[in-house]
Amino acid sequence: MKDALKKRGDFNIILVDWDKGADKDYFQAAGNTRLVGAQVSELIRFLISSASGSPSSPEKFYIIGFSLGAHAAGYAGTYLKDNARMTLGRITGLDPAGPLFTNVRDARFRLDPSDARYVDVIHTDMPPKSGVFGFGMRNEAGQAHFFPNVGVKQPGCRQSLAKLGM
């Protein structure tokens, strides 16, 4: 994705590798999303305060997060809003993780439309309405939602409970 973005325009791209925090069992990794989000928001605050020449603003920042990373992006937006009175420009949640996040009512603890000026979500692994397990979140967590193949099963993809440490 980084290479595709570079071909599309002149962007500064920062990749967040939180492999050590996400390479635990799923429950610990889900808990680590809050810390990762706070660290990303601190980096954004630092970059804005250190900008020389033309001032930067949080509206110019766009975070893309997959699965637990989508919720970490939401935490970054919430943290900036609550602690620095800044609002991110955009978040794209790529199949936000469902387990431990689907029934969370408090928007501070999951991806939510208020985390940025614009939040869009692509759902690709939701549980079907029949209740069969899926790794993605069924909740609408943004202003715009996309549901390829009805957002449930994607051709050529297999599920593995081993990914969750189960």
Q: What is the pLDDT of residue 90?
A: 95
pLDDT in tens, 132-143: 567 888 777 999
The reported pLDDT for the residue numbered 166 is 44
pLDDT tens-digit series, residues 116-135: 999 999 998 887 776 656 78
Residue 88 predicted with pLDDT over 60: yes
pLDDT > 90? residue 156 = no
Judge whether residue 152 has pLDDT over 90. no
Q: With H, G, I as helix, E, B as strand and everything else as coil, classify residue 41.
A: helix
The two structure tokens encoding residue 75: 């935490």
| CATH number belonging to the domain at 1-150, selected among 3.20.20.190, 3.30.499.10, 3.20.20.105, 3.40.50.1820 | 3.40.50.1820
SS3 153: coil
DSSP label at residue 135: S
Going by pLDDT thresholds of 50, 70 and 90, the confidence category of residue 28 is very high
38 touches 49 (CB < 8 A): no
Domain coordinates in residue numbering, the chain:
1-150
